[in-house]
A = this chain, B = another copy of it.
Amino acid sequence: MKFKLLHTDPNSKARAGIVHTAHGDIETPVFMPVGTIGSVRGVTQPDLEKDIKAQVILGNTYHLYIRPGMEVLEKAGGLHNFMNWHKPILTDSGGFQVYSLSPTRKIKENGVEFTSYLDGSKHFFTPESVLDIQLIIGSDIVMPLDECVSLPAEHSYVRKSVQLTHKWLKTAKDYHDNRPGEKKQMLFGIIQGGTYADLREESAKFVADLNMDGNAIGGLSVGEPAEEMYAMTDKVVPFLPHDKPRYLMGVGTPDNLLESVALGIDMFDCVMPTRNARNGWLFTKNGIVNVRNSKWKDDFSPLDPDGESPVDLFYSKAYLRHLHMCKELLGMMISSIHNLAFYTWLMQEARRHIIAGDFATWKTEMVKKVTTRL
């Protein structure tokens, strides 16, 4: 078993579990910092391990394929060695970036053709090739090629797209299963279907039936209202097996995470904590701080007296504000560590409350707190 379900909250669908990977265990629910191109932006690998306490990070296959490229990654012996990070890594399939970064991509029956954002060179991703690429990357959890539809989209288009994603998933699963040697990588399935409940249900059933190592929900958090995202998640989860991890891709704010944990989700990733950090936007246990606000100008109290990382007591709000006003790198560095450490804490604390049996009441209170504007 690659996933062990430990507890389910009696008053919600929230779960606590453990994912066993080739590079160690991941306690769920978990947030995965995004290390797009072999680096979680603005933080060091020792920061990730010691100050942020990240259990797993995410890499983007598309970006890594473009730079440093497969030759370098293969010679390095994979991404873990290349970046000197020896805890678990999950990689996406590259599909999402093909759609978002290469406007001229062409979707064909057997894959997707796209031009590199870097030099305009032509490339072709297939369900098989993205697994080959992720094998070289050496990630512990790999994702299959899917089509990620921009919302809103017509039902007929999404339906066709879901069918293609399913076909590619079947191809990927067969390719993965028939590869010789020990299976060190976990291959997840991705459920698509836009915001159409019937398509989401159809997709959830199809993916669940394939008995993947885990089940992901893709194509959400792409601009639709949060309520719609929760509705789709709630629609999908009942069809997913209890003994497999569930991953809601690209989500989200602290309250998005808490609400989705309550709906039965185990894993998350998002650029928000790091991207917002670089603009001086801090998530804390007591609410959101826009540190550029002039109200912090001469507030010399610690950045976050209740914070979970060393930066929180070491630097003051006024100093961090100054750094952001001057666009100093240190401001981005401090804020990134803070936000990621907060996200780690939030998921570990959720886990603690799930195990203690009082998650639902804690969650309601916490959602109020983390959405407060300080």
Q: A residues bordering B, Cβ < 8 Å?
A: 37-39, 41-46, 67-68, 71-72, 75-76, 81-84, 297-298, 300, 310, 314-316, 318-319, 322-323, 325-326, 328-334
Contacts and interface: CB of A to CB of B under 8 A. Distances in A.
B83 A319 contact: yes
B298 A72 contact: yes
A136 to B, nearest CB: 14
A41 B326 CA distance: 11
B319 A329 contact: no
Contacts of A319: 38, 76, 82-84
Contact of A84 (B67, B315, B331): B315
A341 to B, nearest CB: 14
Contacts of A76: 298, 300, 316, 318-319
Given A39-B323, A68-B318, A76-B318, 7 more contacts: A37-B328, A39-B326, A42-B330, A44-B334, A81-B300, A82-B318, A329-B332
24 contacts: A37-B326, A37-B328, A38-B326, A39-B326, A39-B328, A39-B330, A41-B329, A42-B333, A43-B330, A44-B330, A46-B314, A67-B322, A72-B297, A72-B322, A75-B298, A76-B298, A76-B318, A76-B319, A82-B318, A82-B319, A82-B322, A83-B319, A84-B314, A84-B319
Given A44-B330, A84-B314, A332-B329, A323 B75 contact: no
Contacts of A332: 329
A301 to B, nearest CB: 12
